Amino acid sequence: MVQNSRQACNTAGIGQTIAVACLHAFGLSILSVRRSALRNCLVISVLWLGLVGIPNAHAQQLEEPLVDSVRSALQAAIANATPPEPIFTNTASRLAYLRWLTATSEKLAKRMPNVAMRHEFLQTVWYESKRAGLDVAMVLGLIQVESGFRKHVISYAGARGFMQIMPFWTRVIGDSDASKLFHMQTNLRFGNVILRHYLDIEKGDVFMALGRYNGSRGRATYPNAVLAAQKFWEFEDPGAPPVVEALQTVSPSAAEDVRKPPVQQPAVAAQNADS
């Protein structure tokens, strides 16, 4: 009980520090604002402290046995040191990919200013997510929540890199070199394959799979954060053929008329009968 009280006091103290710093940033002092305003600022600061801790729940992630296909995919990630190059069967698919790459690169520019690094990162995310059968926007949302697109970040639980991979995954496949998790493609493939593995375990339930990935299965905070971030990374291709829109412009009655055979007028029918 005493320990919990101390933790609460420490949190409140940090919150007060942030609140005061916030006021000073705007050229204000504690004496120049009302008590209610200061209290509101303190509440916001404490909430902010709580939100910062959302991604760091990997300590509860369970080490589970892997099927051979998953183990092989992780081993291949360590063996392959070069970024993947997407191959397209037709020009339309390649152009659609380039439109996605351009639009998404613009969104990511503030977080990852280096153009070459940004394009290599997005190319790898696209490749690995498609390879694992995952939604690219969801994977980007997960990376945003997990690491903020920082390559060398380490959580308090020891999770590493863009997708915050726990070191025990390298032990599972017999390598044990956790430093390799800072290699971009290795980290992204581990993350995508692990998430795919959890989706299979949860029979396609995205909410539960995201919770399992984070070590908070059944709790809503982390999945909701990822799914909210996913919306920002969703891409509507302006160059895609507007098939749905074209169909929607046809009224039901007009569509019904198209399906009906042409009705012959009586005069024409009589003329044909005489001939």
154 within domain boundaries: yes
Q: What is the mean pLDDT of the chain?
A: 74
Query: Which domain range does residue 41 map to?
Result: 2-52
CATH of the domain at 161: 1.10.530
Question: What is the average pLDDT across 100-111?
Answer: 97
13 in the same domain as 62: no
The answer to the question of residue 241 being in a domain is no
Same domain, 32 and 93: no
Higher pLDDT, 15 or 117: 117
Q: Is 34 within a domain?
A: yes
Q: Which residue has the higher pLDDT, 9 or 147?
A: 147
Q: What's 159-181 look like in SS3? A: CECCCCECCHHHHHCCCCCHHHH
> Where residue 19 falls among pLDDT bands split at 50, 70, 90?
very low
Model confidence at 68, pLDDT cuts 50, 70, 90, reads: confident
| pLDDT of 177 | 86
**Residue (of 169, 143, 148, 145) closest to 158 by Cα position:** 169
181 and 110 part of one domain: yes
Q: How far apart are CA 103 and CA 93, in angstroms?
A: 16
Residues 74 and 207 both lie in one domain: yes
Looking at the chain, the whole-number percentage of residues with pLDDT higher than 90 is 42
